[in-house]
Structure 1
Amino acid sequence: MFNPDMPPTLMQVKVNKNAETVLRKRYYRKDGDGNPTENATTMFWRVAAAIAMEETKYEKSTIGVEKLAREFFDLMTEFKFLPNSPTLMNAGTGLGQLAACFVLPVGDSMEEIFDAVKNAAMIHKSGGGTGFSFSRLRPHAARVGSTGGVASGPISFLRIFNTATEQVKQGGTRRGANMGILRVDHPDIIDFIRAKERDGDLNNFNLSVALTEKFMQAVEKDEEYDLVAPHTREVKKRLPAREVFNLLVQKAWESGDPGIIFLDRINRDNPTPDQGEIESTNPCGEQPLLPYEACNLGSINLALMYAKGQDHDVDWKELRRVTHLAVRFLDNVIDASRYPLELITETVHKNRKIGLGVMGFADLLFRLGVPYDSQEALTLAERIMKFINEESKAASKQLAKERGAFPAWKTSVYGQRNLGPYRNATTTTIAPTGTLSIIAGCSSGVEPLFALSFSRHVMDGEKLTESNPYFEQAMKDAGAWSETLMDEVARTGRVGQIEHLPEALRRVFVTAMEIAPQWHLKMQAAFQRHTDNAVSKTVNLPGTATQQDIFDIYWMAYETGCKGVTVYRDGCKAAQVLCTGDGTQAREAKAGGDGKVVRSRPDVIYGFTQKIETGLGIMYLTVNEVDGKPFEVFATIGKSGRSITAKAEAIGRLVSLALRSGIAVREIVGQLKGIGGEHPVFRKKGMIMSIPDAIAWVFEQRYMGGATPVPRAGNGNDLASPKCPECGKELFFQEGCFICAECGYTKCG
C-alpha cells in the first residue's frame, strides 16, 4: 500500500542559491514560528505523491501510483517540468488549492457585483489571481430602474475591487493580482482607457481593452463605430475608431496600460461555445476563460531538451515523453485541487482545461547557437510548439480512453466535428514563468534574456557577479572569458557593444532590449499558431520609440493572429529598474549620463498658476502640462534678487528636471512633502511647512486626489530606482509584469 507520507530513499535535490531563497520564502511549509519544515527534496516529494494519488480514482490507469509518484518526482527535480506555483505550494497540504487563476463574472446588479467582490476575496485568500470583464455593467449616469437613481459605471466598481484586493493577502505571501477588461464598444471606454493615467491608481489591476473585429475594420477604414449600452443594447453614441485606437497607442506609449486583447479571435478558438462567450482572461492575459473556470498550468524546460547530434539538436523523443507525463500530471491536478467555490469546481470538472507551456527557450537557442531575432529561431519555435500541441492532444486522447472524455465533450467543438474524444478542452498555454524559471535555473517563458550577467550586492558591501551559464561556457569555449569581460557584461548586461568579441557570439547572445520590437512580435506569433489559449510575452521597445512604433506593433499583432499584445517602452513607468550593472538604467541619456532620458520641451505648452500662502510670503506656482500630466514648474516668491526667490527658482528647476526625466508625481511628492521651514502657515486643509511642502501640496491635490504617497522602503532618497517591496532588490519588466529575480516576487501574483 502506497503511503505518500513515507517517501522512499531519495537523492537530495540540489538547487542554486536563488532557487533556495525563493523556495524558502514562498514554497516550503513552515511551523508556527515561520521556520521551514521541509527542504527541496521533501517539498517535491510532497507534490509528486499528492498528485500521483489521484491515479487511484481510475480503474483503467496504466501505471501504478508509487511508480508514477517517482516519475513525477524525477520530472520536477530534474527541472524538466514544473507546475504552476499554487500546486508546488499547496499540493498535499490542508489548503489544497492548486489552480493559479480564475475568471469571475460581474453582473449588472449590486448583488452580483458584490458577490464577485466576495468571491474574489476568497480566491485571493487561497492563493489565486482573478480576471473580470466589466462589460456587462451599465455606463456611468445610466438610469437604475429599481432605485430611480443613476449608475456609477464600471470604473467606480473597478476601484472597489482594487481596494478589496488591497485588504486580502494572497495565499499568505503576496497581494492578489487582477485583470480588468472592458469591451471597446462600451460607452465608458474612454474613461477606462484613461483609468491608470494617475500614477498608483488601480495598482492591483492589469487592464486590457477587448477589441472586436468590427472595431478593427473601422480603424482600418477610418470610420466611426457604435458605443452600445450593455443593459439596453441601445447605441449611445458613435466615435471615430482610429482616434480611439490612437488613444490606446498613446496610453501604451506613456505607461504600458492598458493592453489589448482581440476578443472575436479568442472566441473563434473557444472549444465550448455552447457554454457562452469568453469575456475575460487571467491576470497576465495568456489564459482566456469562461466565467468560473480556472487555469491549471505547467511548463516544460526547453533548455534541457537539447541533445547534440540529434534532429536540430533537439531531443524530440524526450520532449514527447515529458509532454505526455506532464499532461497526466496536470489532469491529476484538476482532481486533486480543492477550489474555493462550488461553481468553480463544477465548471472546471466539466471542461478540464489544462495549459502546458514552455520555459527556457532563450537558453535552448543559446545552446543551439541560434540568434533569437532570426528566421531560424522562428521556424524552430513554431516546430517545437506544434510538436508539443500535437503530443499533448495525443496524451489527452489516451487519458480519455482510460478515464473518459471531459463531460462537456459532446457539445464542444471536438464532439460536433468528430475530433475526439479528448480528456481536456484545451491542453496548451504559454504562461509567465518568472518564479518557476528561478527554481529551474533557466530563462523565463519564451522571452529573450533581460541581461546576460548582473551584479548582486550582498552583506558587508560584497558584490557577486552572476552570469547565464550557457553564455559563460560559450565565452570559455571561444577563449574569450576573462574577469574583465565578465565585469563589463555585468555592468551593461549585454555583449553587443564589445567589439573585440567574435561577431557570431555577439549575434547569438542578444538580450531583450537589443532585439527589434518586430522580432518580439514575430516570436509571439510563431508560438501562438500552435497554442490553444494564448502566449504571455512582452514586446520591449526602447525609450526612444514613437507612438507610431506602437501603432505598428498593435497592427502587426492583429494581422499575425495574436490574441493580445503587451508592449513596454523602456522607462515609461516610474517603477522600472533594469536588473543590470550597478542599478543605473540602461537607456540613452540626453543629459547628465545617469541613464534618464530628459524629454525636450515643446514650443508651446499650457498650464495653470496657483496662488499659495507660505510663511515667507505669497508664492505663485505655475505648472505646465503635456497630455494632462505636469511637465515643468516655475515657483515665484518675492522680488528678484532675494535669496528666497533664488531658492524657489532652484526648486522649480529641479522638480521640472525630474518631471521631464519621467519621475512620477507620487515620487516627487514623497520627497518634498513634510519638509519643514521656520515659518509654517495653516490652511483649511492642513499646514504648509515650507516652499517644497507647498509644491508637494499643489501636486498632491491636483494629480493624486489628495492622497498621501506611500512611504518608500529604505532611506527614501532614491528617486529613480524603486525596489522589490519584499526583499529590496531591483525589479525588471517581463512577461507583462514586474518581477524580482532575487526573491521571486511578482506584481502579478
Structure 2
Amino acid sequence: MNLSDNALKVLERRYLTKDESGKIIETPKEMFERVAKFLAKADSIYDDNADINDTEKSFFDMMANLEFIPNSPTLMNAGKELGQLSACFVLPIEDSMEGIFDAIKNAALIHKSGGGTGFSFSRLRQNGSTVKSTGGVASGPISFMKVFNAATEAVKQGGTRRGANMGILRIDHPDIMDFIECKSDTAEITNFNISVGITEKFMEAVNNDEDYELIDPHTKQVVGKLNARKVFKHIVEMAWNTGEPGIVFLDRINEASPIEKLGEIESTNPCGEQPLLPYESCNLGSINLAKMVVEGPNGYEIDYNKLDKTVRTSVHFLDNVIDMNKYPLPEIDEMTKKTRKIGLGVMGFADVLFYLGIPYNSQQAVDLADELMSFIDKVSKEKSMELAEKRGVFPAYELSTYYEKGTPMRNATTTTIAPTGTISIIAGASSGVEPLFAISFIRNVMDNDKLLEVHPYFEKVAKERGFYTQELMERIAREGSIQHIEEIPEDIRSVFVTAHDISPFWHVKMQAAFQKHVDNAVSKTVNFKNDATKENVEEVYMLAYKLGCKGVTIYRDGSRENQVLSTAKKEEKREVMVGSLPLVKPRMRPAITRGITEKVKIGCGNLYITVNSDENGVCEVFTNLGRAGGCPSQSEATSRLISIALRSGMDVKEIIEQLKGIRCHSTLRQKATNKEIKVLSCPDAIGKALERAMNTCVEVDNSTVDDLTCTLDEELESSKIENISMNNESICPECGSILEHEGGCNICRNCGFSKCG
C-alpha cells in the first residue's frame, strides 16, 4: 500500500483498532482485511455457494490500492462489536413535546454510534403560537434547535467522530427570518449546519419581486406574507457574513426522487449531499479518480475499463454494507432496507485535471466532469440491475419510477457526491469534486516542528521543467497561489489552480455538471475571496438554481473571523452575578497571535509547550506530547483551563504560582538518572514556560503584536518562534493547523479532524 506519512498518522489516530489501554493493535493492511472479510459475508445471504473468498479479495484489493474507500464509519466499525457502518441519518421531528424529545434521544444514540443527523424543523409550530393542551405558548423551532445542539455537545461520537447536524426550515415557515439569522452569532448552535428549504413558488416570487405566503405548520393556514426578494437578499447577507445559511431546493429534490410516492423528503444529511426520507441512512463510498488515470503513448488518459470494474465492485460493496450494518434504531433498519439507497461518489477529480493538463476553471473541465459522472452513473445502474436479478429488487420498488419504467433495480439510488474529508487523506487524493485547496503547505509534525508538503505531481512537473527549488515551494506555501509567480511557466500556472484562484461561476458550473448524473446531490463549497460582495453571493445562489443544482453552500474567506451579531436582536448587556461576584466570560480567541514553542524533557518523553500572546498579553497555551506517550489528556485539559483563565483576565502570575512546584512520580524517577530533565511534572513545565515567556517577551508596540520580539534562554535555543494567522473558525481544535472549508465541511489536512457543523 502506497500510504503517505500523513495517511498513516490519520489512520493511527482515528481508524486502526486499539486495545483497552489505547495501544494500536492493527495495521492498515489488517484494517482493510477486517472490512473486506466482514462485508464479503453478505454474499452468503443470497447464495449458499457464493465464492466469499473471491469477493473478499476484490474488496480488499480495491481498498488497499486506494481505488475506493468507504465512508469512515465502515472503516472504523466493520467487523467490530459496534458495527454501525452508516455516515448519516435523517430523523423526523413531530410537533409535540414527546416527538421532539424522542428525536433528541434518537439523535444522541446515532451520535454515540458515530453517525451524523439531519432534521427538518418545519413541522414545529411558530414561536408565540398557542399550545392548546397546556394553554401555554410555543417557543418555536429555534429554541429547540438549541436543545438539540446542547445534546450533541454532550455526546462524543464513539471517541473518533464528533456530532454533526443539518437543520432545515422551509422558506414558508412563519419563523423563517429568525432561522435565517440564528447563526449570526457564530458561538451559537455550533453543532449544526443550517439551510433554508426553498420552494419553486418562492423562487418565482423572487424573480417577480412579489410577496409570498407564510403557512402555520400546525393549522396549515396562511398567517402572513413577506416580500420574497427581501427575504432572499437577507439569506444572501447572512451567508456573506458567516457562510450560512445554505439553501436546498426542496421541490426539485422531491421531483427527482425515484420513490416520491413513499413520502416527502424534508431534510438532508449534515453536508447536504444526501436528501433522505425520515429514518433513512446514507451508505457512502468514493472512487479515487486519480487511480483511474494511466500514462499512455500520448500522455495521461482515463482508463475506462478500470473505472468500469471499480464502479461495479463498489456497488457490490455498498449493497453488502446495507445487510451487514448494525443500525442504531429499528426504524432506521426497516426504512434503509426498504429503499436500499447507496451513494457512490468520487474524489481526486482535481488530481485528474492536473494529470490531463486541464484547468479546473474551463469548459473542458466541465465537459470532463459531465463525461466521467455520466459513465459512473450508467455503470452503477447496470450493476444495481444485475444485483436485482440475483438478490431481488428493493422492497419499495413498486412505489418507484423504476417500476413504472419496467427497470428492476436493487437500489433506489446509486450515486452521491460526498465530501471525502479524511478518507481523501488516506487515499492521498484531492477531496471530492473540489479544486485543490493548496499546491504546497506547511504541515505541523510534532517531533520535527514543520514539514513542507507539495502536491506530488506538481513537484514532478516542477522538477521536469526545471523550476523546482525548496525556496519556491516554501514561498507557494506562504502565499497560497502560484498565479502571480512569474518564475513558473504560464501554462503550468493555468492548470495548477486552487480554490481561491477559481471564480465562483466555475465552482457552480462544476457542481451542476456532476449533479446532472447524480441521483442524490453534490456536496461542494463555493469559495469566495474575502473582498467578494453580497451581489456576488446572490449571483451564485441564482446560478445554482438556474443550472439545476439541488442546493448550494458558500464560504467567503475570513467571514467568520469576527462575531457577527444580529442588529434586530441586540439587547442591552447586563452583568450576571454568581453569588456576590460577577460572572466572567472569556474573550474570544484573537484572529492573530504570536508566541514561542519550547521542547521540555519530562518523565514521559518530550513535552512541547506553545505560549501565545496578543495585544493584551499572554492569551493561550498549547501542549503536545511526543511519541513516548504520557497522559496527553491531562496536559490538554490543563492547557485549555489556563487559556480560558488567561482570556478571562486572570493574572498570569497567579496561574504560574499555582502550577510551579507540582510533582509527578514519573518525572521525578526519571530525573534522578536523566540530567536533561529540569522540571518536576507537566504542570511544573507549563508554569516555568509561562514564566519564561513573561520574562523574555518584550512588546515593542503596545497597540499590536506584529512587532512582538522574544529572547530565548540558552537552554531553549532549539525552540522556534511561530506565527499563527487564522480566525476562530479556521483553526483545528485538535492540532492548531488551518482548517479547509470544502464540501460543507471543515477538514484539517494535518490530523484528519473534520467538523460538518
Shorter-chain TM-score category? 0.7 to 0.9
> Is the counterpart of residue 189 in structure 1 residue 197 in structure 2?
no
Q: In structure 1, list runs of 5 or more residues that go unmatched.
A: 1-12, 577-598, 600-606, 613-652, 656-667, 679-714
CA contact (8 A) 2:273 2:416 kept: yes
Q: Aligned residue for 2:527?
A: 540
Aligned-partner Cα distance in 1 for 2:414–2:365 = 23
> Is the counterpart of residue 232 in structure 1 residue 219 in structure 2?
yes
Aligned-partner Cα distance in 1 for 2:226–2:645 = 39
2:238 to 251, 268, 278: 251
Q: Pairwise mapping of residues 605-624 of structure 1 onto structure 2 (< 5 A)?
A: none
Q: Which letter maps to 2:27?
A: N
Q: Aligned residue for 1:724?
A: 732
Q: Which letter maps to 1:370?
A: I
Q: Aligned residue for 1:210?
A: 197
CA shift for structure 1 position 417: 2.8
Relative to structure 1, the CA distance from residue 611 to residue 223 in structure 2 (aligned partners, 3 Å threshold; closer, same or farther) is closer
Aligned-partner Cα distance in 2 for 1:608–1:438 = 45
CA shift for structure 1 position 477: 1.9
Q: Pairwise mapping of residues 403-442 of structure 1 onto structure 2 (< 5 A)?
A: 403-418=391-406, 420-442=407-429
Aligned-partner Cα distance in 1 for 2:120–2:15 = 31
Aligned-partner Cα distance in 1 for 2:444–2:165 = 33
Q: Aligned residue for 1:107?
A: 94
> Is the counterpart of residue 554 in structure 1 residue 562 in structure 2?
no
> Is the counterpart of residue 368 in structure 1 residue 356 in structure 2?
yes
TM-score (norm 2): 0.79
Q: Aligned residue for 1:584?
A: none
- Structure 1 residues 408-417 or 516-525, which shifts more? 408-417
Aligned-partner Cα distance in 2 for 1:434–1:232 = 42
> Is the counterpart of residue 390 in structure 1 residue 378 in structure 2?
yes
CA contact (8 A) 1:76 1:82 kept: yes
TM-score (norm 1): 0.80
Q: Aligned residue for 2:609?
A: none
Q: Pairwise mapping of residues 333-344 of structure 1 onto structure 2 (< 5 A)?
A: 333-344=321-332
Q: Which letter maps to 1:570?
A: D
CA contact (8 A) 1:139 1:153 kept: yes
Q: Aligned residue for 1:674?
A: 649
Aligned-partner Cα distance in 1 for 2:294–2:414 = 26
Q: Aligned residue for 2:590?
A: none
CA contact (8 A) 1:60 1:403 kept: no
3-state SS of the aligned residue for 2:90?
Answer: strand
CA contact (8 A) 1:671 1:717 kept: no
Q: Aligned residue for 1:78?
A: 65
CA contact (8 A) 2:467 2:487 kept: no
3-state SS of the aligned residue for 1:199?
Answer: coil
CA shift for structure 1 position 59: 1.9
Relative to structure 1, the CA distance from residue 611 to residue 430 in structure 2 (aligned partners, 3 Å threshold; closer, same or farther) is closer
Aligned-partner Cα distance in 1 for 2:144–2:413 = 32
CA shift for structure 1 position 455: 1.3
> Is the counterpart of residue 88 in structure 1 residue 79 in structure 2?
no
- Structure 1 residues 475-484 or 125-134, which shifts more? 475-484
Measured against aligned partners, the alpha-carbon deviations of 1:586-628 in whole angstroms (never above 9, x if no partner) come to xxxxxxxxxxxxx9xxxxxxx999899xxxxxxxxxxxxxxxx
Q: Which letter maps to 2:244?
A: D
Measured against aligned partners, the alpha-carbon deviations of 1:108-131 in whole angstroms (never above 9, x if no partner) come to 011111100000001001110000
Q: Aligned residue for 2:512?
A: 525
Q: Which letter maps to 1:40?
A: P
Aligned-partner Cα distance in 2 for 1:52–1:86 = 17
Q: Aligned residue for 1:402?
A: 390
CA shift for structure 1 position 16: 1.2
CA shift for structure 1 position 718: 6.4
Q: Aligned residue for 1:48?
A: 36
CA contact (8 A) 1:430 1:535 kept: yes
1:508 to 495, 510, 527: 495
Q: Aligned residue for 1:625?
A: none
Aligned-partner Cα distance in 1 for 2:6–2:199 = 43
Relative to structure 1, the CA distance from residue 674 to residue 483 in structure 2 (aligned partners, 3 Å threshold; closer, same or farther) is closer
Aligned-partner Cα distance in 2 for 1:17–1:654 = 37
CA contact (8 A) 1:60 1:402 kept: no
3-state SS of the aligned residue for 2:223?
Answer: strand
Q: Pairwise mapping of residues 97-176 of structure 1 onto structure 2 (< 5 A)?
A: 97-176=84-163
3-state SS of the aligned residue for 1:176?
Answer: coil
Aligned-partner Cα distance in 2 for 1:461–1:74 = 34
> Identity of aligned pairs, percent?
56
CA shift for structure 1 position 676: 5.8
CA shift for structure 1 position 298: 0.4
CA contact (8 A) 2:560 2:727 kept: no
3-state SS of the aligned residue for 2:295?
Answer: coil
Aligned-partner Cα distance in 2 for 1:717–1:15 = 30
3-state SS of the aligned residue for 2:410?
Answer: coil
3-state SS of the aligned residue for 1:732?
Answer: strand
Q: Which letter maps to 1:25?
A: R
CA shift for structure 1 position 489: 1.5
Relative to structure 1, the CA distance from residue 609 to residue 677 in structure 2 (aligned partners, 3 Å threshold; closer, same or farther) is farther
CA shift for structure 1 position 145: 1.3
Q: Which letter maps to 1:122?
A: L
CA contact (8 A) 2:41 2:52 kept: yes
Equivalenced residue count is: 621
> Is the counterpart of residue 483 in structure 1 residue 505 in structure 2?
no
- Structure 1 residues 93-102 or 480-489, which shifts more? 480-489
> Is the counterpart of residue 741 in structure 1 residue 749 in structure 2?
yes
CA contact (8 A) 1:457 1:463 kept: yes
- Structure 1 residues 516-525 or 452-461, which shifts more? 452-461
Q: Which letter maps to 1:157?
A: F
CA shift for structure 1 position 669: 10
Aligned-partner Cα distance in 2 for 1:435–1:727 = 15
CA contact (8 A) 1:141 1:151 kept: yes
Relative to structure 1, the CA distance from residue 243 to residue 716 in structure 2 (aligned partners, 3 Å threshold; closer, same or farther) is farther
3-state SS of the aligned residue for 1:410?
Answer: helix
Q: Aligned residue for 2:433?
A: 446
Relative to structure 1, the CA distance from residue 109 to residue 608 in structure 2 (aligned partners, 3 Å threshold; closer, same or farther) is closer
Q: Which letter maps to 2:435?
A: P
3-state SS of the aligned residue for 1:321?
Answer: helix
Measured against aligned partners, the alpha-carbon deviations of 1:21-80 in whole angstroms (never above 9, x if no partner) come to 11111111110101111010100000000010111111287x510011011100000000
3-state SS of the aligned residue for 2:137?
Answer: coil
Aligned-partner Cα distance in 2 for 1:716–1:191 = 41
Aligned-partner Cα distance in 1 for 2:400–2:356 = 40
CA shift for structure 1 position 462: 3.8
Q: Aligned residue for 2:341?
A: 353
Q: Pairwise mapping of residues 324-335 of structure 1 onto structure 2 (< 5 A)?
A: 324-335=312-323
Relative to structure 1, the CA distance from residue 719 to residue 318 in structure 2 (aligned partners, 3 Å threshold; closer, same or farther) is closer
Relative to structure 1, the CA distance from residue 66 to residue 211 in structure 2 (aligned partners, 3 Å threshold; closer, same or farther) is same
> Is the counterpart of residue 23 in structure 1 residue 31 in structure 2?
no
Measured against aligned partners, the alpha-carbon deviations of 1:197-247 in whole angstroms (never above 9, x if no partner) come to 112100000000000000000000000000000110111110000000000
> Is the counterpart of residue 290 in structure 1 residue 265 in structure 2?
no
CA shift for structure 1 position 175: 2.4
3-state SS of the aligned residue for 2:463?
Answer: helix
2:288 to 285, 301, 308: 301
Measured against aligned partners, the alpha-carbon deviations of 1:326-359 in whole angstroms (never above 9, x if no partner) come to 0000000000101011010000011000000000
CA contact (8 A) 2:444 2:750 kept: no
Measured against aligned partners, the alpha-carbon deviations of 1:113-163 in whole angstroms (never above 9, x if no partner) come to 110000000100111000000000010111111111111110111011000
CA contact (8 A) 2:113 2:328 kept: yes
3-state SS of the aligned residue for 1:422?
Answer: coil
CA contact (8 A) 1:128 1:171 kept: no
Q: Aligned residue for 1:8?
A: none
CA contact (8 A) 1:101 1:128 kept: yes
CA contact (8 A) 1:255 1:573 kept: yes
Q: Over the residues paired in the alignment, what is the CA RMSD in angstroms?
A: 2.7
CA shift for structure 1 position 272: 1.1
3-state SS of the aligned residue for 2:390?
Answer: helix
